[in-house]
Structure 1
Amino acid sequence: MFNFKKAAVAQQILRKKVQVKPLETSINYVAGCDLTFLNPFKTPTVGIAAFTLFKYPELDLIEKVWISGEVEIPYVPGFLAFREIPLLVRAFNKLSTKPDIVIVDGHGIAHPRRMGVASHFGVVTGTPTIGCAKKPLYGNFSPPENRKGAFSFIFDEEGKRIGAVLRTKVNVKPVYVSPGHLIDVEGGLHLVYNCVKSYRLPEPTRISHNFLKGIRKQLMKNNKK
């Protein structure tokens, strides 16, 4: 059985390894990742993880990989990484070209223990990461103006800047960006905005999500045969 007290302690230990600082390398390749489940309300269930790799800044799709496997850890907000990381790492290792940075569908340091899935993945793999989530999890912020590119910063209870709320399209809900590992708030915000085309989400995570939907649909179909 999953021990949440031990998991919280592990997050505090890993938190000390997170480095929030300006990105030290140039970006030629950016990847996005996402994970879904055949039955998200069941434990254990089958999880499916995918990575897509893009040339940057052109955003030309270079590679898509995926992997599936059993997941025995239940979903509990704040502990998502323990449910997703094993499959995400296995999928990441299938990429023939390693990215300079990864955009993760989830949070980075904008997390109660500063250890969201993006930070956890970054520390485990030693990869620069950014969290880009669809919903807020932690922190104080004001809604950004209703214009493309508008943003407002996310602060913790001590007033420290831990992320940003970014409006990628007019009249559309914003996304929640926070550093995962080896990048800072401003750098993460800049990269996510540059990876947005015609949709709300940055292309790397959007394409990963759509890729997963197709795989899940096929697996569900196969299971019914």
Structure 2
Amino acid sequence: MSNSSGYQMRHGRLRWPLIFAIVLLHLAALYGLARALAPDFTASIERDVVSAFTVPPVAQPEPPPPENRSEPDEGAQGEPGRKAVAQPVTSPPPRVPIRKDAPLPQAASTGTASESGAAIAGDGTGAAGTGLGTGSGNRGSGSGGVAISKPVHISGRIDNARDYPVPSGGREARRGTQVIVRVTVGTDGRARDCTIYRPSPDPEADRITCQLVESRLGFRPATDGSGNPVPAPFYWRQQWF
């Protein structure tokens, strides 16, 4: 019997996977030695092997060219329309005819002056504007200024029944009546120039009321726009209870 037969009998059958692994190890060792000693040679072999298994890319078909489409003809401009003309409208005649005034006659003049009548300011007593005499109004320097505040009663009372005589028929005849008198309060605050504005049934009592207002009552006089005291009217009402 040969040596190989004796080896198989001692160790049994050889295992093919082990043999394949041993072969691969030898090839790898040879490949590593070749890359170390001849790198250019091994690189060219690798390129040839890779190119043998490389699948070239498939060329994509080119898309068909777009179709040439002609744009539709828009056509020519139409004829212009006719211009609208408004129908004339007239208002009906008025039912009542309008009366026309007769023209005024033109004034004739033979003078040469450019103004007529009173001017704004003059030298006579009838001139308008502001003057310097008494009673010249708000802007005058005299004592005739216009009052802007009323006189105010500040002192004195008329409340004593013994100031009036007993009328005929007794005091009951005068009870519930009244009299209103008008006086002028001067710049000194005293009343004067009393008159009966609204009388009572007793004329004697009205006269006595005027005397008492002038002699017994005191007032704060009215003032003008500059604060100066000016004379002004005052109305006093006297009632009997």
Structure 2-normalised TM-score?
A: 0.16
Q: Which structure shows the bigger proportion of residues in strand conformation?
A: 1
Q: Which has the larger radius of gyration?
A: 2
Between the two structures, name the one with larger relative contact order (CA 8 Å, sep ≥ 6): 1
Structure 1-normalised TM-score?
A: 0.17
